[in-house]
Each structure stands twice: as structure tokens, then as C-alpha cells.
């Protein structure tokens, strides 16, 4: 049976007697659930006895002029999906419940890792992620937390948060779930027009093409790598996108300084297509 709680106190009371002999997993979401979210819930069920799914459109991670007001809120439909997949608890608090003072005076800052990639164009985004994830970890006190790898930088920041704040939580990254044509599933895909939706898979194709070039050994130096990146940006923009960033980094998001021998890199990209800002990434072993 799936039970919904709106208050921190009631959820804590429900979870307290379970902690002695049950393993608890948390799947944080902002709702408007799609099959990518559902795959994370299924993954959580493989690693825990009790699965808590939070549904909270977190205002602190939206910048000025972003889509906080228009972000889809579909709690009834989300609840039906979570009942079907047999999630145990839904935590759906109000903004007032999560933030008695708004904006919250306390901050959880991630430092330099939050200032690259998405942080360049969304400078306050990961500060908002830091406080809401910290609060959810404190409220639920899960043994396991599941995050999707589509938000690659977010997952890296949360790994750092768990390490530096000594949370006793096992983090698991769920693989990107894609539509049949390769587009990474996202709640913001619904902003795409029919024409834009038809073009959207080109972003993933461009990332795949770049991965093939990297694996063929063409990135022999920083200059050569940058040339390949610029070629990819030009190709993506030619398909109607406006690239926010496209970067290749080590899988821990540190800059690449070694080009010889075995390497593990990640291609990370964000691009606008109409009103939708699309994210994608691909890990590449060189």
C-alpha cells in the first residue's frame, strides 16, 4: 500500500519503527513523473525494503526568470504511477513545510564543482539543490538514495555532499532512460513543439558521434580535443539548437590533463531547443 505524507513529522513517525530491521531508500523527484523516474523507483526496490519517493518542486533551485511557476505539477497522476510500481511512501510537502523562512537563511554550498557546466548559466541552481537534498536526507535518513545519471553534475555534487557531510548513505546512479529515438526522458520535454520533438534526438546523436571520435584516438591533446568539441557544437547548432555548453571531462568532472593511456571521460551537454533546455551525457572509456 502506498501512503502519502505532507508533513515532516508524520513521515518521520511512520519511518521510525521500521529502521530497526528495514532498509530504507529515497528517490527524490520534482514530480511530473515519467519512465525515467519509475526506473529509479524500481532500482530502489532492488536495494531496499522500503521506498520513499519525494515529490517537491523546489523553489530554491530555480533562478530568476526560470520556469518555477510553469513547472508541471501532476501529483494525482504521479501518485497513480507510484501505486502501480508499489512505492511505499510518497512525501509531498508544501513549500512552507520545507522552508519555514523563505528564502532559507541557511545554505549548503558545493564550491567549484557547482560553478562549471550548468553552474555557468544557472549560478544559484546547485545551491538550491544542496539545501533541499540535505533536508531530504535529514528527514528520511535513508540507507540508500537513488539519483538519475542524466543530471550527471548533480549526482557528482551529491556524492561530494555525502562525503563531506558524512551522511551514512549509499548513493546509486540510475542509467539514463531514453525514448525509442534516443532522446533522454525529462519532464521538460513537454515544452517541445511537435517540430522540435522531431529534431530533439539529434542532440544525443551528436554526443554519440563525438564519443566515436574520442574512442578512435583523435583527442591527442587539449587543442585536438577542443577542436572536436567545437565541431560538435557547430553541428548541434546547425540542427536548430542553441548550445549552452558542451564539455569533455574526467568522470569525476575534473579537467582532462592526460591524453595518453587508458582514460575514462564523460561528454556533458546542455542545449536549448525552443523553450526546452535539454541535458545529455555519455561516459566514454578511451
Residue list for the binding site for beta-alanine: 61
DSSP secondary structure letters along 224-285: HHHHHHHHHHHHHHHTT-EEEEEEEEETTSPPP---SS--EEEEEEEEEETTEEEEEEEEEE
**Known active-site residue 37:** yes
Q: Which member of 37, 47, 125, 204 is catalytic?
A: 37
Residue list for the binding site: 30-37, 61, 148-151, 154, 177, 185-188
Q: How many CB atoms lie within 10 A of CB 178?
A: 16
Between CA 233 and CA 202 the distance in angstroms is: 12
DSSP secondary structure letters along the chain: --EEE-SHHHHHHHHGGGTTT--EEEEEE-S---HHHHHHHHHHHHH-SEEEEEE---GGG--TTSSTTTS---HHHHHHHHHHTT-SEEE---HHHH-SSSS-S-----GGGGSSTHHHH-TTHHHHHHHHHHHHHHHH--SEEEEETTSHHHHHHHHHHHHHTT---EEEEEPPPB-TTSPBP-GGGGGS-HHHHHHTTHHHHHHHHHHHHHHTT---SHHHHHHHHHHHHHHHHHTT-EEEEEEEEETTSPPP---SS--EEEEEEEEEETTEEEEEEEEEE-
Catalytic machinery residues? 37
Amino acid at each position: 500500500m502506498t501512503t502519502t505524507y505532507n508533513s515532516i513529522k508524520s513521515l518521520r513517525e511512520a519511518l521510525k519503527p521500521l529502521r530497526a530491521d528495514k532498509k530504507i531508500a529515497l528517490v527524490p523527484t520534482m514530480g511530473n513523473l515519467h519512465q525515467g523516474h519509475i526506473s529509479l523507483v524500481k532500482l530502489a526496490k532492488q536495494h531496499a525494503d522500503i521506498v520513499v519517493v519525494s515529490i517537491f518542486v523546489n523553489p530554491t533551485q530555480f533562478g530568476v526568470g526560470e520556469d518555477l511557476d510553469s513547472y508541471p505539477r501532476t501529483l494525482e497522476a504521479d501518485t497513480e504511477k507510484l501505486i502501480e510500481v508499489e512505492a511505499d511512501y510518497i512525501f509531498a510537502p508544501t513549500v512552507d513545510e520545507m522552508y519555514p523562512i523563505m528564502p532559507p537563511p541557511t545554505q549548503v554550498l558545493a564550491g567549484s564543482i557547482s560553478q562549471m557546466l550548468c553552474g555557468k548559466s544557472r549560478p544559484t541552481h546547485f545551491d538550491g539543490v544542496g539545501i533541499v537534498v540535505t533536508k531530504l536526507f535529514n528527514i528520511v535518513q535513508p540507507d540508500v538514495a537513488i539519483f538519475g545519471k542524466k543530471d550527471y553534475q548533480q549526482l557528482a555534487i551529491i556524492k561530494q555532499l555525502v562525503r563531506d557531510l558524512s551522511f551514512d548513505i549509499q548513493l546509486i546512479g540510475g542509467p539514463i532512460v531514453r525514448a525509442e529515438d534516443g532522446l533522454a526522458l525529462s519532464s521538460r520535454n513537454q515544452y517541445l513543439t511537435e517540430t522540435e520533438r522531431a529534431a530533439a534526438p539529434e542532440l544525443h546523436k551528436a554526443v554519440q558521434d563525438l564519443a566515436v571520435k574520442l574512442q578512435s584516438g583523435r583527442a591527442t591533446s587539449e587543442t585536438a580535443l577542443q577542436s572536436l568539441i567545437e565541431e560538435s557544437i557547430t553541428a548541434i547548432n546547425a540542427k536548430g539548437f542553441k548550445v549552452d555548453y558542451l564539455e569533455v571531462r574526467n568522470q569525476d568532472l575534473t579537467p582532462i590533463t592526460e591524453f595518453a593511456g587508458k582514460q575514462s571521460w564523460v561528454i556533458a551537454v546542455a542545449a536549448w531547443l525552443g523553450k526546452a533546455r535539454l541535458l545529455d551525457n555519455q561516459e566514454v572509456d578511451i
